[in-house]
């Protein structure tokens, strides 16, 4: 980790997006370990701030055109490798695997230092304001793919 200042919404890196988050007492269960469902919150923050770093705010996408555009989690596969504990600083990494048509596929990891804690594959459906599938605009697909262009496959 470097000493350079990092934005509150993380930073774009050569493989996609990187966000740092601390584990607080409210994130843990009676055992002192992070409660498993809280990982979903950290993953969502990673995806949302990835968009922000690309210059896109989800609230603005609803008014992008007459149809509106919304991202909806369609499927999520999560491997829980190791638990996090209170006061740990976690790194949430998000990489675009596919962006086009009416879906995106993102790989996400949560790490504590070099240790992998969570590996997730997230399929995002692109829908209009009525919940019907719609194509991801080519410019947005390109932004996602370009930001992860150097990611290992």
Q: Which of 27, 29, 66, 87 is catalytic?
A: 29
- The backbone torsions φ and ψ at residue 68, rounded to the nearest 5 degrees and listed phi first, read 75, 160
Q: Does 29 qualify as catalytic in the annotation?
A: yes
Per-residue buried b or exposed e for 96-105, using 16+ beta carbons within 10 Å of the residue's own CB: bbebbeebbb
How many CB atoms sit inside 10 A of residue 117's CB?
A: 21
Residue that the structure tokens 């008014």 belong to: 63
Residues tagged active-site: 29
């Amino acid at each position: 980790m470097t000493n350079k200042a990092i934005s509150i919404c993380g930073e774009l890196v050569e493989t996609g997006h990187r966000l740092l988050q601390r584990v607080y007492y409210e994130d843990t269960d009676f055992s002192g370990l992070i409660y498993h469902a809280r990982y979903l919150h950290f993953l969502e923050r990673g995806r949302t701030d990835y968009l922000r770093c690309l210059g896109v705010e989800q609230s603005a996408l609803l008014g992008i055109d007459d149809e509106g555009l919304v991202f909806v989690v369609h499927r999520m596969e999560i491997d829980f490798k190791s638990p996090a504990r209170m006061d740990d600083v976690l790194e949430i990494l998000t990489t675009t695997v596919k962006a086009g048509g009416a879906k995106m596929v993102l790989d996400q990891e949560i790490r504590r230092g070099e240790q992998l804690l969570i590996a997730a594959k997230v399929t995002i459906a692109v829908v209009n304001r009525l919940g019907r599938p719609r194509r991801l605009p080519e410019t947005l697909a390109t932004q996602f793919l370009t930001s992860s262009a150097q990611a290992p496959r």
